[in-house]
């Protein structure tokens, strides 16, 4: 399914009703995120394993990149092979919350592939944009173009525009 603007999705769903779909696309974060910005991490605890190129942050983990914020109970950071100064991916586990602009998502787990600019949220995923809500088993957020694609028993609640 081609990436679509949120208003087009809203209009389509209003016309056909908010029935569950197998896959659905909506905007996230009001456009692209700055995936070239530095990634900042903070947590109560940190364990580093140089031989595996991994670091584990636990307890009140907060990750920021540009205007995007991700929080979780635990985050496993995998560094690029041969370059521990460059993050390859982040795996967030437990009470995951992602905020980008006025949009927010909650899930049990998230995997952020830094170079690709994709975040895959799984497990009781809930995405909110103002009063509009989307839930599903899995939502993939593309930070480069600001789209999100949901799959697995998707449910959407769209509020009509207010004057």
Q: CATH no. for residue 152?
A: 2.60.450.10
- In a domain? residue 145: yes
Give residue for tokens 């087009």. Answer: 8
Q: For residue 163, is it within any domain?
A: no
Asked if residue 1 is part of any domain, the answer here is no
Residue 58 is predicted with a pLDDT of 97
How much is the mean pLDDT over the chain? Answer: 78
| Domain contains 57 | yes
Tokens of 2: 């081609």
Residue 162 has pLDDT above 80, yes or no: no
| Residue 139 lies inside a defined structural domain of this protein | yes
Pair of tokens at residue 69:
């914020």
H or E element: which one contains 133? strand 132-142
CA–CA dist 78, 54 (Å, integer): 5
Would the pLDDT of 68 be above 60?
yes
Domain assignment present for 49:
yes
Provide the token pair at 60.
């009140």
Asked whether the predicted pLDDT for residue 93 surpasses 90, the reply is yes
Report whether pLDDT(54) > 80. Answer: yes
Task: List phi, psi (to 5°) of 13.
Answer: -70, -35
| 17 lies in some domain | yes
Tally of structural domains, the chain: 1
d(CA 82, CA 126): 36
Give residue 28's pLDDT band: very low, low, confident or very high (50, 70, 90): low
DSSP H helical ranges for the chain: 6-16
> Residue 23: which domain range?
6-157
Residue 162 lies in a domain: no
């Amino acid at each position: 399914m081609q990436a679509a603007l949120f208003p087009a999705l809203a209009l389509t769903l209003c016309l056909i009703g908010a029935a569950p779909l197998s896959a659905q696309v909506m905007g996230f974060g009001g456009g692209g995120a700055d995936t070239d910005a530095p990634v900042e991490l903070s947590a109560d605890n940190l364990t580093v394993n140089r031989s595996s190129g991994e670091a584990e942050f636990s307890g009140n983990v907060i990750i920021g990149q540009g205007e995007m914020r991700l929080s979780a109970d635990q985050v496993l950071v995998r560094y690029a092979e041969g370059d521990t100064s460059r993050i390859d991916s982040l795996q967030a586990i437990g009470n995951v919350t992602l905020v980008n602009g006025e949009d927010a998502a909650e899930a049990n787990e998230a995997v952020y592939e830094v170079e690709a600019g994709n975040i895959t949220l799984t497990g009781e995923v809930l995405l909110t944009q103002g009063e509009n809500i989307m839930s599903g088993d899995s939502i993939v957020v593309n930070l480069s173009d600001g789209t999100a694609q949901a799959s697995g028993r998707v449910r959407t609640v769209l509020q009509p525009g207010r004057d």
